[in-house]
Structure 1
Amino acid sequence: MEDQTTAYYTKQAEAFVRETQSVDMSVLYERFLPHLPSGAHILDAGCGSGRDTRAFVDSGFMVTAFDASPAIAALAETYSEWPVAVMRFQEIDWCRHFDGIWACASLLHVSGAELPAVVRRLARALKPGGLLYASFKYGEGEQIRNGRHFTDLDETGLADLLRQTPELIEVETWVTGDVRPGRESERWLNTLLQTREAA
C-alpha cells in the first residue's frame, strides 16, 4: 500500500471500518467459497474491517488475515475476534500454503508497476489448484482519489496482468455495482483466478 494511502487509513480508520463492516458480501462469497474444500485455509489479504475474516471463520474456515494499516488491523482484530497481522502485499513469502486467497478491494492499492510481482507472490502462496479472488474499481490507469492511490482494471487490463502472471488461469470474471447504499453506480471488476495444478 502506498504511504499516502496508509496515512489515509490511519486517519480514517474508525469511519472506514464503520462504513464497511455491515456490507453484505454474501453474493461474492457464493462465487468463491464453493470452490474450496471443507475447512480450507483462506488468506484474507488486506482484510480491512475484518468483515470477511469473521464471516469465513464463522463458516468453519481457517483464516490468516493481514492489513497494511496498523490502525485498521487493530480494529479488524477486535471486530473479528481473530488475529490480524500488519504487513504489506510485497512482504508475502508463503509457499503453497493456502487453499484460497481473498483480496477484496485491496490489491487496487498496489501500484501498476508492482502489481504483477505482487500477484505472482499470491500465486506462490496458493496450493496447486488454489483460488484467488480479487476485485478492482472498474476502469484503467492509476489515480489518487480522496487521498488514496488506486490502480483500476477492466477486462483488457486484467488480460494484460495475466499475461505477466502465467502461474494463474482465469476461472471467471464479472462486473458488479457497489453494494454500499448510494454508490450503486460505481462498478467493480471481480475475478477468480486459479493456480495451475502440479504436473
Structure 2
Amino acid sequence: MTDRETIEVYNAHAADYAAMTQSEARDKQLVAFIARVPPKGAVLDLGCGPGHSAEEMARHGLTAHAMDPSPEMVRRATSRPGVIARQGSFDDLTEENLYDGIWANFSLLHAPRADMPRHLAAIFRALRDNGTFHIGLKCGTGCARDRLGRFYTYYQEDELLGLLQGAGFTILKINRGRGKGLEGSVSDWITVASHA
C-alpha cells in the first residue's frame, strides 16, 4: 500500500484502531492459521496494524515478523513481545522461500486492483513449499474511499479465488461474514486460507 491518504488515516487513528482490533488475537481463523504453521516456524503479518495478531503468533512460539506502511502502527507493533516489525509497503516484500505462513488480514484490500496479481506473486515467492496464506477482503465491486478517506478495493468471491489460483495457491477454506469497520459502516467480508 502506497496510498498516502490511507496511511495518514491509520497514523491518526492508530489508538482507536488498536482498541477495535484487540480481539483479533482470539480470532478462530488466526488460531487455525497458527495450527497450520510448523512449530517455531517463521511467519509474516503483512499489513500488521498494531500487531495484535503477530503478538499472538509469537506467543505460540513462532518467529513473528510484521510489516506495515504506517509508522505509527509499526511503532505499536514493535512494542509487542516477540514481534519483529518493520515499516514497508506490499512492494517491499522481496524475500524468497523464507516464511512458513503469511497473514494478510484485511490489508491487501487497500491495494489497487491492478496491483493484486503482483502482490500475490510476491507472497507466493516469499512462502516456503506448502506455506500457508490467509487473506481477508471486503466484498463488493469497484473501489472507493470510506468516510475517513481510506482507499478500498472490493472483490467478489469468484474473482478472489481466481486470483489466488492464478498465483499458484491451493484453496483450503473460505469464510464469509459481516462486520463493522473503524468508520462505523457494516460490510460483508471474505477470508480465504490457502497454501503454496
User: Does the TM-score normalized on the shorter chain lie above 0.5?
Assistant: yes
Post-superposition Cα deviations, 1:97-146, rounded to whole Å, max 9, x if no partner, equal 00000111111111101111011000000001111101001222211112
- Output the CA distance in 1 between the equivalents of 2:24 and 2:165: 33
Tell me, yes or no, if the aligned pair for 2:144 and 2:152 is still in contact at 8 Å: yes
Unmatched 5+ stretches in structure 1: none
Unmatched 5+ stretches in structure 2: none
Tell me, yes or no, if the aligned pair for 1:23 and 1:179 is still in contact at 8 Å: no
Task: Give the 3 Å change call, closer, same or farther, for CA 163–29 of structure 1 in structure 2.
Answer: closer
- Tell me which residue corresponds to 1:123: 124
- Tell me which residue corresponds to 2:8: 7
Tell me, yes or no, if the aligned pair for 1:24 and 1:179 is still in contact at 8 Å: no
- Output the CA distance in 2 between the equivalents of 1:184 and 1:33: 29
Paired positions, count: 193
Tell me, yes or no, if the aligned pair for 1:50 and 1:80 is still in contact at 8 Å: no
Instruction: Give the TM-score, by structure 2 length.
Output: 0.89
- Output the CA distance in 1 between the equivalents of 2:101 and 2:165: 21
Q: Which runs of 4+ in 1 moved over 2 A?
A: 21-26, 79-83, 176-180, 183-187
1:20-169 correspondence runs (5 A): 20-23=21-24, 25-80=26-81, 82-145=83-146, 146-162=148-164, 164-165=166-167, 167-169=168-170
Tell me the C-alpha RMSD between the 2 structures: 2.2
- Output the CA distance in 2 between the equivalents of 1:184 and 1:144: 12
Tell me, yes or no, if the aligned pair for 1:175 and 1:187 is still in contact at 8 Å: yes
Tell me, yes or no, if the aligned pair for 1:135 and 1:189 is still in contact at 8 Å: yes
Deviation at 1:179, TM superposition (A): 7.8
| 3-state SS of 2:34 partner | helix
Q: Is 1:170–2:163 an aligned residue pair?
A: no
